[in-house]
Amino acid sequence: MAAEAPDPKTFESWEEAFQYPIPAVRGMERQLRRDIDSNREKLRTLVGASYRDLLGTANSIIEMDGEMHNVEAYMGEMGQRCNTRLLEKKGTNLRSWTGEIEAPTVMVESARYAFASQLSVLRSCPDVISRLLKSGGSVLLAAKVLVISRLLHTKLSQRPNPPPYLDALRNRLASLRRRLLSRIDRRFKNLELSRDLLVEAMCAFSLATSSSPKDVLRHYHHICLEAISENREESTAGHENMFLALRIYVKTLRDTQAIVPGQLAYALEKLKSISLFKSQDVYSLMELNLDVHERWIGDDIKTFTPYLRHDDLSKAESERSLRQWAKRAFSSFLDGLRSRIQDVQDPMELVHLRRKILELWLSNHQHSLGIDSAETLDGLRDVFNSQSTCIIKARASNLAGIGIIVHGILQNWQAGISGLAPSLWDSSMTSMEMSHGGQTLRESLMTRSIGRNEPLSRVFQEYTAFLESIEALEEMIKKIREARWADDIDEVDDEDDLLDNKQVLLSEDDPGLLQEELNNALGEAYASLQTTLDRSPPHGEDVNRGQKSSFLIRTWRELRQRLPKSYQDQNFGLSSIPALQGIVADDTLRVPLEKCAKRIAKLSTKTLLERSLWEGDPELPVLPSAWTYRFLLDFTSSMTSCGSDIWTTQATNTLKRELIRVLAPLLEERPKAPAPVVNGHTNGKAGDAETKVPEDEGTANGEKDEKEKKNDKASNGTAREPTNSALANGDATTQQKESKDAKIQRIFDTSYLINATAVRDMDSKGNKLIQLRDSLSEDLALEGKSVERMKKDAGEYWKRTSLLFALLA
């Protein structure tokens, strides 16, 4: 059975409470809160409806005590000054003098003294009001003096011949009234004004303008709304004026709920409970000298009590008026906030402003009873989310500038300059500054290795600036997501769900919405950029199409390698790159293929020199032809001129496929057999078109023919020595033998080229070079072992020589 909870009333010190487990401490806390509430209700019951009477009694006791002290002081002074004999003489003389004066004379003198006293008090009233306004004194006292001055002015103006001086006093009093009302309005706007002074200012306004509580509340709300509008329209550095506007809004809500109608009604009722002339603060004004002029002031002024309706505003009406004002004021504040933050383009500044505004509202919203806090919070969120979305879209749209730069570079392309990439082996590399860890050297190595020339650097710098702006947006969203909103301890348990909802709205929903906007904006921006770049490839008749395509490939590489975190589409640009690689491949192959075609055409006019290097039994070629070397050297040189960074695996495979496609038909055209040579001269028209064979080649051919004849004789046993010079220089059998050897050599060259152009994922059935090699093997009816041996030798030789053609390998 669980132990009984301890009774906190038995504790001698507060430390004893924390010796128990946390659940027990929480139970004691709830018990103490219940006891406090119970005692509060008991006290309220005891006081009851007599609360105001008790306050009035206490004030009366205080006033009576002060009056008794004054009476005792006056009586003491009078006792000191009293002289019985002198008083008797004065009394006797006064009675005799009064008896001798006629009654009409007494009335005239009394009226004259009354006029002089009233005019003296009236002349002093503007000075008193002016002094109170200058010194920051009580506005309620100034309003009381203003009312008394108006009464005196009205009474003096009713005389048969009023003095002209009254008009000047009237104008001055009107000016002081405007100053007083202006001072009251400034107090309404003052954020540091206490509620007691605010009630005093409201009573002063009611007294100076004869307004009811409804009119006072309406004017108070109007002034606060003006203050909010003034702060939102004020152009100052920073955003302090927006914080002031929101603080005015919050303070107005809290003060209105606390003051109206209870405290205001009580203050107005107290104000009309005693005449203004008899109020202690007015009577004690030295400038008025009321103790001297009181006997000559009329009773209508001395007994004047302001008529103020203090009970015409109910609580329901004040709440309804407050809700209407809150809706207008908050709408005005949101308009100003929305207009002000349109100039905020820094995401971090926007996050800071959002944090301060929301903290200010959330720390006070629980005191704004009757106001929809959720709607207010949604309004603030909508303003900041809208501006954040505008910043996101504006920054994402800057990506289009890259397309404009690329298009301008292609339109103003300078052959030999725009496409010129800095060499990695330039002599200027050795003279670079090596301090600070060789930062300059490392950057230069990176720049040259990827072919980043001046046009590409412009694209790189623009894209870097774009990425930095996007990273700032991502950091903004991260800050919003990581923000934690402290729970308000004073809130009741019923609002726990609201607190959780607040955390979800501000730290989950808002960053989620902004992240989605950023993803969509980047997706649209990158899609638009891809469309722009897809329209940029050069046309077929452009002589610089290869260099331009290389520039576009490098541009795509810069874009794809540094995609922002919020956009990680790995398929971006993939569909555009193969076409560009095909253009570069065509441009790279054009010159080497032209030279290769000329060399292959000359094979028909030359004797096969490589025949002497054949090895094995039967003898088969182990080296490719010279034209193959030259072609591959020219080919790799052309690749190098485009830039080594261009030739990725995909680009190299595209180039190899294109090479296989155009090279196979050149090799497939069999070279024509040379015309018969008789006595050192060609026979027929064929000799006219043939190239003359040099003497050293002729000698070599002769040596090779002798060797071939010996091999034929040894193998067949039927060959005979030539009997004439025609057979010695080459008969039909020798020509056929040379044609067969050329085909065999061509099989080896083809095998070597097959290894050089090998593509991993390419089907052998689609490789025209393989088909050509198989076709030549079938034409010569070579044994399978011979063909396989040539394949193996060609593969081994490619392994030994592949580093000479590194880009191709």
Residue 417's SS3 state is coil
Give backbone dihedrals phi and psi of 740, rounded to 5 degrees, phi first: -70, -45
Residue 380 CA to residue 384 CA, distance in Å, equals 7
What's the 3-state SS for 231-287?
HHHCCCCCCHHHHHHHHHHHHHHHHHHHHCCHHHHHHHHHHCCCCCCCCHHHHCCCC
Q: Is 51 left (phi over 0), alpha (psi -120 to 50) or beta?
A: alpha
Residues of the chain with pLDDT > 70, as a percent, come to 78
Residue-wise pLDDT tens digits, 255-267: 998 888 888 888 8
The whole-number pLDDT of residue 187 equals: 93
Tens of pLDDT, residues 637-667? 888 888 888 888 888 888 889 999 998 888 8
Q: Which amino acid is at 297?
A: I
| Closest alpha carbon to 184 in 148, 222, 128, 241 | 222
260, 213 in Cβ contact below 8 A? Answer: yes
**Closest alpha carbon to 126 in 77, 179, 83, 80:** 179
CA distances from 524 to 399, 413, 476, 531, 636 (A): 10, 29, 21, 11, 40
Residue-wise pLDDT for 67-103, tens only, equals: 898 888 888 777 767 766 777 777 777 766 565 444 4
Query: Bigger pLDDT: 632 or 372?
Result: 632
Whether the Cβ atoms of residue 551 and residue 455 lie closer than 8 Å to each other: yes
Residue from 319, 330, 397 nearest 357 by CA: 330
Work out the pLDDT band at 186, boundaries 50, 70, 90.
very high
Report helix, strand or coil for 620: strand
Q: Are the C-beta atoms of 507 and 480 separated by less than 8 Å?
A: yes
Beta strands in 449-601 (DSSP E): none
User: Is the model's pLDDT at 24 over the cut of 90?
Assistant: no
| Number of other CB atoms surrounding residue 196 within 10 Å | 11
Kindly tell me if the per-residue pLDDT of 272 is higher than 90.
no
> Higher confidence at residue 588 or residue 689?
588
pTM attached to this predicted model: 0.69
* Contact present, 313 and 217 (Cβ < 8 Å): yes
Q: What percent of the chain has pLDDT over 90?
A: 24
Looking at this protein, which amino acid is placed at residue 772?
Answer: L
Question: If you average pLDDT over residues 340-368, what whole number do you get?
Answer: 85
- State residue 706's pLDDT score: 42
Backbone angles phi, psi at 13, to 5 degrees: -145, 160
Look over the chain and give the mean of its residue pLDDT values, rounded to a whole number.
80
pLDDT for 19 equals: 85
Q: What is the pLDDT of residue 237?
A: 56
Angle CA 599–615–610, to nearest 5: 20
Nearest of 124, 128, 150, 155 to residue 139 by alpha carbon: 128
The pair of three-digit structure tokens given for residue 459, joined into one six-digit string:
């694209």
pLDDT at 105 exceeding the cut of 60: no
Element (H, E) at 132: helix 103-135
The better pLDDT of the pair 145, 368 is held by 145
Rounded to an integer, the average pLDDT of 502-506 is 82
Binned at pLDDT 50, 70 and 90, residue 479 comes out as very high
Scored b (16 or more CB within 10 A) or e, 98-136 reads eeeeeeeeeeeeeeeebeebbbebbebbbebbeebbeee
Q: Which of 218-222, 236-240, 669-673 has the weakest average pLDDT?
A: 669-673
**pLDDT over 60 (residue 126):** yes
Phi, psi of 620, deg, nearest 5 = -135, 155
Q: Work out the pLDDT band at 418, boundaries 50, 70, 90.
A: low
Compute the CA torsion angle 657, 658, 664, 666 (nearest 10 deg).
-160
678: Cβ contacts below 8 Å, ≥ 6 apart: 726, 729
Q: What is the pLDDT of residues 132-175, one digit of tens each?
A: 999 988 999 999 999 999 999 988 888 777 777 888 889 999 99
